[in-house]
Chain A
Amino acid sequence: MLHDPAILAALLAAAESGINRALALAPTASSDFDALAGTVVALEITSLEITVYTAVTATRAVRLMSHFEGHVTTQVSGSLEDLFALIVSDDPAALLINSPIEVHGNTAPLIALQQLLTSLEINWQQPLADIFGDVLGHQMALHLSAGINWGREAATSLRRQLSEYLLEEGRLTPPETELEDFFEGVQSLKLQAERLDSRIARLARRISQRGAG
Chain B
Amino acid sequence: MTQSTDIDQDNISSGEDSHRGDTTDFGFTEVPREDKARLVRGVFDSVASRYDLMNDLMSGGIHRLWKRFTIELSAVRAGQRVLDIAGGTGDLAARFSDLVGPEGQVILADINAAMLRVGRDRLIDRGKVGNIEVVQCDAQHLPFADDSIDCITIAFGLRNVTDKNRALRSMYRVLKPGGRLLVLEFSKPTNTLLEQVYDTYSFKILPRIGQLVAQDADSYRYLAESIRKHPDQDTLLGMMEDAEFADCQYHNMTGGIVAVHRGVKA
Contact = CB atoms under 8 A, between A and B. Distances in A.
Interface stretch (B42-50, B60-68, B196-204): B60-68
Contact of A66 (B72, B98, B252, B254): B72
Contacts of A69: 75
A67 B65 contact: no
Contacts of B98: 59
Interface in B36-61: none
Interface in A53-84: 59, 65-70
B69 A66 contact: yes
A67 B62 contact: no
B32 interface: no
A9 B65 contact: yes
Contact of A6 (B73, B75, B77, B253): B253
Contacts of B62: 6, 10
A49 interface: no
Contacts of B20: none
Chain B binding surface SS class: helix
Nearest to A65: B72
A14 to B, nearest CB: 10
A8 to B, nearest CB: 8
B223 to A, nearest CB: 20
- Interface size class on chain A is 10 to 19
A207 B44 CA distance: 82
Interface string A1-19: 0001110011011000000
Contacts of B229: none
A68 to B, nearest CB: 7
Contacts of B252: 4
A70 B75 contact: yes
Interface in B78-98: 98
A115 to B, nearest CB: 27
Contacts of A66: 69, 72
A6 B66 contact: yes
Interface in B81-123: 98
B255 interface: yes
Contacts of B251: 5
B66 A67 contact: no
Contact of A5 (B64, B69, B75, B77): B69
B68 A9 contact: yes
A13 B68 contact: yes
B72 A6 contact: no
B126 to A, nearest CB: 15
A194 B89 CA distance: 63
Contacts of B255: 4
A4 B72 contact: no
Contact of B65 (A13, A59, A65, A68): A13
Nearest to B63: A6
Nearest to A9: B65
B1 to A, nearest CB: 29
B220 to A, nearest CB: 22
B62 to A, nearest CB: 6
A10 B64 CA distance: 9
A4 B73 contact: no
Nearest to A66: B72
B22 to A, nearest CB: 39
A108 to B, nearest CB: 24
A70 B77 contact: yes
B253 A4 contact: yes
Nearest to B69: A5
A13 B69 CA distance: 10
Contacts of B68: 9, 12-13
17 contacts: A4-B254, A4-B255, A5-B251, A5-B260, A6-B62, A6-B69, A9-B68, A10-B62, A10-B65, A12-B68, A13-B64, A13-B68, A59-B98, A67-B69, A68-B72, A68-B75, A70-B77
Q: Which 9 A-B pairs have the closest CB atoms?
A: A9-B65, A67-B72, A69-B75, A5-B69, A6-B253, A6-B65, A9-B68, A6-B254, A65-B72
Interface of B: 62, 64-66, 68-69, 72-73, 75, 77, 98, 251-255, 258, 260
Given A9-B69, A66-B69, 9 more contacts: A4-B253, A6-B66, A9-B65, A9-B68, A12-B68, A13-B64, A59-B98, A67-B73, A69-B75
